[in-house]
Chains A and B, each alone.
Chain A
Amino acid sequence: MFKENKRKSGKPPWLAKWLFSRMSRYQEMYSITCEVDEVFHSILSQKGYLRAALWYWYQAAVSYFRYTSLSFYRSTAMFRNYLKTAFRNIIKHKGYSLINIFGLAAGIGCCILILLYVQFEMSYDDYHEDAGRIFRIAGESNSKYGTNKLPSVPAALMPVIVENCPQIEFAARLNRRNRSLIRYEDKLFYEERCWFTEEAFFDIFSVRFLAGDRSTALETPNSVVISYSMAKKYFGSDDPVGKTITVDGRDFNITGVVEDTPQNSHLKYHFLASLKSRENEDFITNWQSSSCYTYVKLLENSDSHAFEAQINNIIPNYISSDQVDNDFTRTFFLQPLTDIYLFSNLFSEIKPAGNPVYLYIFSIIGIFILITAWINFVNLSIARSAERAREVGMRKVVGANRMQLIRQFLGDSLLISLFAITASLIIVGAALRYFNDLTALNLSVYELFDPIIVLSLLILIIVTGFCAGSFPALFLSGFDPVKVLKGNLTTRFRKTILHTTLIVSQFSISIILIICTLVVYSQLSFMKDKYLGFEKEQVLIIPTIYSEGRSITNGKFNLIRDEFLKYPSISGVAFSSNIPGRVDTGVFLGGAWEIDGSRVRYEVLFVDYDFNKVYDIKMAAGRTFLREFSADTANGVLINETASKAMGFSSPDEAVGKEMVGSRSGRIILGVTEDFHLDGLQTEITPLVMRPHNNYMGVINLKINTENLSEAISTIERGWKELYPGKPFNFFFLDASFDRQYKSEEKLGKIIGIFTFLGLFIACIGLFGFASFIAERRTKEVAIRKVLGSKVTDIVLLQSKEFIRWVLAANLIAWPAAYFSTEKWLQNFAYKIDIGIEIFIIAGSCSLLIALSMVSYQIIKASIKNPVDSLMQE
């Protein structure tokens, strides 16, 4: 009651009133507020303030909405007209528009895919919080023989620097244990990616715990944290925390489950056990063994260089003198976490390094394709826009001013390029699955919504639209309408230059890509087919593990051999420490000799009597190990030809019977083998020493002489179960694993091949569209020639000549560029092909053929037309 009385003489709600005043025109011209207020007051006196206010608000809101809708409609009227014309234009020439849009879309799509890949590769390890403060400490050992770098350092280093360097916020060590036998109840498997580490690991790296307590997970010895996939594998949906698993015979208590490492991490783990479990082992205090990958997280604003220097100042004081070799110095250096994947390629990295060179190559290819597509688009747009000269004339006559015309044409091409980019996004979405298969990655569409990408796409739309639309916009709009309507355009010359340049550059790019692809493929097949000095076919490898420093085959050699040789499908059994191709199965051993003052590195391969036979390794001089001579195992070695040369022998024969250089136990060279590629064709053959050693020959090499591989596998498995009943049977075929060496090159080859094809495809589309346009323009000329008596073939030849000239010019430009860049790439390989002239000829003729087929179709079509029809078109 009280309120009502007060409000009876009230005012309308001020906010709603303000809305009315926002309708400026109505306020000025019609005094809308006054009128509405009148009705307000009458409602007020009749029905009270509440009803009046509600009514007022309703009026304000709806009126304002209607007002703005109308204003919007009015102000966009011209724009809508342009939109309609633009659409109609596109529909009118469906063929051209389709070619144009699709070509550009495909080009942009390819570019996006490539850039996604490159971005992924460059994003390794940057998801960790404060990744910029995380470093790995790596070690460098210098002696007069040279430098050796390792990504791991002694375990004893970390406590020392933690005590002495205040910049360290957290530090943790990781010790790798590659393949372990994991058992839980009845589940028994070999697992990779097993590590020992400490609590600080979770403070340095951003790891999400799915179960368990991160602050206590690795506190006690014999505790382990497992990854999500391992949890599912061994425990299904049960909670693993608190349960016990056996790792290589030792019990560990599960204290946590973490989510699986993302793909872009150089460090991938399935098991993280507490380093305390190995507290009493030698390597914890031994300064000679670089056993641990050590990571530190520095405090904010720390100077990493100062820190690095500090490490090198402190450590020498701690290396006790009896552990140090006098002419042997060690320094340590920091590696930023985010650089490790791409730039660190030291021996025994956690994950083989990505190759930044390839990333550059891919990016360049991507940009090339984009340029090709873009050139197409601009070319064709400009060509077609000349047709719209008449429309320009008409519009001018009706009263359009220059600014409006410019806006119209620009808007037109902006619209098309907007379409194209939308289409490209759709293409990318659809193709992503296949792309993921190709690159063995798991990219998702969401990566596209990165602000950088969105921004660049917007810029691309604008730039493309402007470039394509600039010719008609600026040029055509300046014309005298009378002249234009009469059809006298004399801009032929300048435009032809433009078109020629565009087409020639486009084709040059495509030709360069073709040549590169051919070179990559030749090199790959060369590497695959080259005889490696040993037989890699039909060899099955069983890599066994080492337990307490000795292989499980130790002492059982004869037993194993007899078991397997029982089966007719197996023709040879041999034991070794490692295998050609050097997959991560065995032991890498090597060293360096000092010969004539320079340091010569060599490798050691422990083999048994039958190794050479199984692999058919030929001897250059001397003999191989023979069972009859029992002294062989004690004293004899075999070396390869490179080794004998390194030792200074003038021929292999000379080396036989001599003592091996640098040998501490006076080993005699029994024979010299012909060189074989232990490592694949990417590296030079290094000197190799081979001899038997009971403790280290853990790899069983089996030569199979049957075509029926699956049958062989099952017989071998049976044999294995007889010998080692409790252990899982792991095996692989040597040729398969060897070929995996070239995986990155193969991947490169495939990717380049596919994108070359796409680039060429896009160039073809462009040429096709352009040729049809030209042919159309020349119908009159062709018709007249026909009337005057030329034969169809002559006409075709005449018209094609122009295109042929362009293709030849493109070739001329492309060949040197391609030669230069492929030569550079081949430097990566120790054994490479010579780039023969036939590659260039193939590329050249390919391009010619393609160009001709695109063009001739159009020209023939035009030439066959009845001249009467063509001339009647006027």
Chain B
Amino acid sequence: MVLLSITEQMYLVAILCLKEDAFGVKIREKVIELTGKTMVFGTLYNNLDQLVRKGYVVTDRKGTDSKTGGNARVYYSVSEQGKKALNESKHLQESLWKAMPRNALV
């Protein structure tokens, strides 16, 4: 069973949210939106790179865009492996919250 850290989960969810539209700038905006905290591009790519190395995220260059000056932009998507890992983490979290007694956090 693979344990994803919260950060990793966050990024995977962000990428999934963006569907077709998942590229650098947008992912950053999404994560900032989700967490409420801003980050520099360096951190963004640190985490993305980590996910790519582990095989949870795959990159893809497609299409030309006038905004990127003619170069193909890099798009990210979650791999099968990644989806599986995310699923496991989700189950783990859910069972954790379920196992907690009702009024513990009151």
Chain A contacts to B: CB under 8 angstroms: 23, 25-26, 29-32, 34-36, 38-39, 58-59, 62-67, 70
Contacts and interface: CB of A to CB of B under 8 A. Distances in A.
A36 B39 CA distance: 13
Contacts of A59: 40-42
A35 B23 contact: yes
Nearest to A68: B42
A29 B74 contact: yes
Interface in B34-62: 40-43, 45-46, 48-49, 52, 59
A58 B39 CA distance: 11
B83 interface: no
Contacts of B74: 29-31
Contacts of B52: 29
B30 to A, nearest CB: 14
Given A38-B68, A67-B46, A70-B46, A32 B41 contact: yes
A34 B61 CA distance: 13
A63 B73 contact: no
21 contacts: A23-B42, A25-B49, A26-B49, A29-B49, A30-B59, A31-B74, A32-B24, A32-B41, A34-B69, A34-B71, A35-B24, A35-B25, A38-B67, A59-B41, A62-B40, A63-B40, A63-B41, A63-B45, A64-B42, A66-B40, A66-B46
Interface in B69-95: 69, 71, 73-74
A853 B69 CA distance: 84
A193 B43 CA distance: 73
A58 B41 CA distance: 10
Given A35-B23, A38-B67, A39-B25, A29 B42 contact: no
A69 to B, nearest CB: 9
Given A30-B24, A32-B24, A63 B42 contact: yes
A317 B52 CA distance: 96
Contacts of B41: 32, 35-36, 59, 63
- A38, A39, A62, A64: most-surrounded residue (chain B CB, <10 A): A38
A46 to B, nearest CB: 15
A38 B74 CA distance: 14
Interface of B: 23-25, 40-43, 45-46, 48-49, 52, 59, 67-69, 71, 73-74
Contacts of A30: 24, 45, 48-49, 59, 74
Contacts of A29: 49, 52, 59, 74
A554 to B, nearest CB: 95
Nearest to B72: A31
A26 B68 contact: no
A32 B27 CA distance: 13
Given A26-B45, A30-B24, 20 more contacts: A23-B42, A23-B45, A29-B49, A29-B52, A29-B59, A31-B24, A31-B68, A31-B71, A32-B24, A32-B45, A35-B24, A36-B41, A39-B25, A58-B40, A63-B40, A63-B41, A66-B42, A67-B42, A67-B45, A70-B46
Contacts of B48: 30
B73 A31 contact: yes
Contacts of A23: 42, 45
A34 B73 contact: yes
A594 B74 CA distance: 110
Contacts of B49: 25-26, 29-30
- B40, B49, B73: most-surrounded residue (chain A CB, <10 A): B40
B65 to A, nearest CB: 9
Contacts of B23: 35
Contacts of B68: 31, 34, 38
Nearest to A20: B41
A55 to B, nearest CB: 10
A356 to B, nearest CB: 63
A5 B67 CA distance: 21
A552 B80 CA distance: 112
B69 A66 contact: no
Contacts of B42: 23, 59, 62-67
Nearest to A69: B46
Contacts of B71: 31, 34
Ordered nearest first, which 5 A-B pairs have the shortest CB separation? A63-B42, A35-B24, A66-B42, A62-B40, A26-B45
A23 B40 CA distance: 14
Contacts of A25: 49
A65 B40 CA distance: 11
Contacts of A64: 42
A63 B40 CA distance: 6
Contacts of B69: 34
Nearest to A67: B42
A34 B68 CA distance: 6
B67 A63 contact: no
Nearest to A25: B49
A620 to B, nearest CB: 101
A35 B74 CA distance: 9
B40 to A, nearest CB: 4
A35 B67 CA distance: 9
Contacts of B40: 58-59, 62-63, 66
Nearest to A66: B42
A226 B74 CA distance: 82
Contacts of A65: 42
Nearest to B61: A31
A66 B45 CA distance: 10
A248 to B, nearest CB: 81
Contacts of A31: 24, 68, 71, 73-74
A66 B25 contact: no
A62 B23 CA distance: 21
Contacts of A58: 40
A548 B69 CA distance: 104
B74 to A, nearest CB: 5
Contacts of A39: 25
- B42, B45, B73: most-surrounded residue (chain A CB, <10 A): B42
A66 B59 contact: no
A745 B90 CA distance: 84
B43 A63 contact: yes
Nearest to A31: B74
Contacts of A63: 40-43, 45
- B24, B69, B71: most-surrounded residue (chain A CB, <10 A): B24
B96 to A, nearest CB: 29
A241 B37 CA distance: 72
Nearest to B27: A35
A312 B61 CA distance: 93
A74 B60 CA distance: 25
Contacts of B25: 35, 38-39
A192 B54 CA distance: 83
Contacts of A36: 41
A831 B88 CA distance: 94
Contacts of B24: 30-32, 35
Contact of B43 (A34, A38, A66): A66
A30 B27 CA distance: 13
A63 B44 CA distance: 9
Contacts of B45: 23, 26, 30, 32, 63, 67
A42 to B, nearest CB: 9
Nearest to A41: B67
A91 B69 CA distance: 59
A72 B45 CA distance: 16
A25 to B, nearest CB: 7
- A25, A36, A62: most-surrounded residue (chain B CB, <10 A): A36
Nearest to A70: B46
A805 B52 CA distance: 67
A12 to B, nearest CB: 12
A656 to B, nearest CB: 108
B104 to A, nearest CB: 36
Contacts of A67: 42, 45-46
A865 B72 CA distance: 78
Contacts of A35: 23-25, 41
- B25, B41, B59, B67: most-surrounded residue (chain A CB, <10 A): B41
B47 to A, nearest CB: 10
